[in-house]
Amino acid sequence: MYSVNRNIFQFHPEIISKTHNFYTMSHEIKGKPFESAFDKMLEGNLQEAAVIFEEKLKEQPDNIHIMLELGNIYYIMCEMSKSIANYEKVLRLKPDSPYVLYRMGVALYRSTHFSKAANIFSIIIDSGKYLPMTYLWLGLCYYHLGQEEKSISAYRKLIEYGPETIMGNYYMGIALKASGNYKEAIAFFERLLNHTDKHVSALYHLGRTYMKDHNYEKAKDYFKMVVQLDKENKNAEFMLDYLIDT
């Protein structure tokens, strides 16, 4: 199994600022209490912001903007059950929102509810209102469900939109390796490395793929590159020791 780098989910003030600017366009979420909550978010005090929004939601129980903000805050705080609960509240009132469905799908994925998440991402794609990255999440879900062919099919769709996408090529390589398509996996890893030759994880998995394909000299070369870039990488060191007499 593999997982998405958690750094892409971490709090970043610019992301919160964009969320603030977008959602405050609605008259339903204006006023000093909300500005105070957004200020807390910009400062990184997400728990305090959540408390303010929770109090306001008691006063305005049908305000989907507050529910959505809470869903996003709890997601960033890695409180997935609370995040999902708030997205569900929004979807009961606005079931056709592709943005909320997308956020819900990602939160379900993070909670390891891969089948439910895959279903939601499929619904979004069928609606025709989706970001290309929806295919990445769908592919990740299928991979964790052990459905490599469906995973590969989703990644191919993503790569159609952006042939040079790093994440698309990386996860395609991983899925192809898992399904035994070593030559094609190597091609995708190498395409990625043509654009960023210091992607340690791609270098490591390329080494593993060459091992699977019985090209041990090539495998050694890539494990050496990994160790040069990441001297603490015990997995690559172990593989080099394993291959020393091969």
Q: Would you give per-residue pLDDT tens digits along the chain (246 residues)?
A: 333 333 333 333 333 333 333 333 333 455 556 788 888 888 888 999 999 999 999 999 999 999 999 999 999 999 999 999 999 999 999 998 899 999 999 999 999 999 999 999 999 999 998 889 999 999 999 999 999 999 999 999 999 998 888 999 999 999 999 999 999 999 999 999 998 889 999 999 999 999 999 999 999 999 999 999 999 999 999 999 999 877
CA–CA distance, 196 with 200 (Å, rounded to integer)? 10
Name the residue with tokens 């870039």: 229
User: Are the beta carbons of 236 and 223 closer than 8 angstroms?
Assistant: yes
User: How high is the pLDDT of residue 162?
Assistant: 87
The pLDDT tens digits of the residues spanning 14-66 come to 333 333 333 333 334 555 567 888 888 888 889 999 999 999 999 999 999 99
User: How high is the pLDDT of residue 174?
Assistant: 97
CA–CA distance, 32 with 221 (Å, rounded to integer)? 60
Segments in 114-246 forming alpha helices (H): 114-127, 133-144, 148-161, 166-178, 182-193, 200-212, 216-229, 234-243
State the pTM of this model.
0.81
CA–CA distance, 241 with 211 (Å, rounded to integer)? 13
pLDDT > 70: what percent of the chain? Answer: 86
User: How high is the pLDDT of residue 67?
Assistant: 95
Domains in the chain and their CATH numbers? 164-246 (1.25.40.10)
User: How high is the pLDDT of residue 17?
Assistant: 37
The pLDDT tens digits of the residues spanning 234-243 come to 999 999 999 9
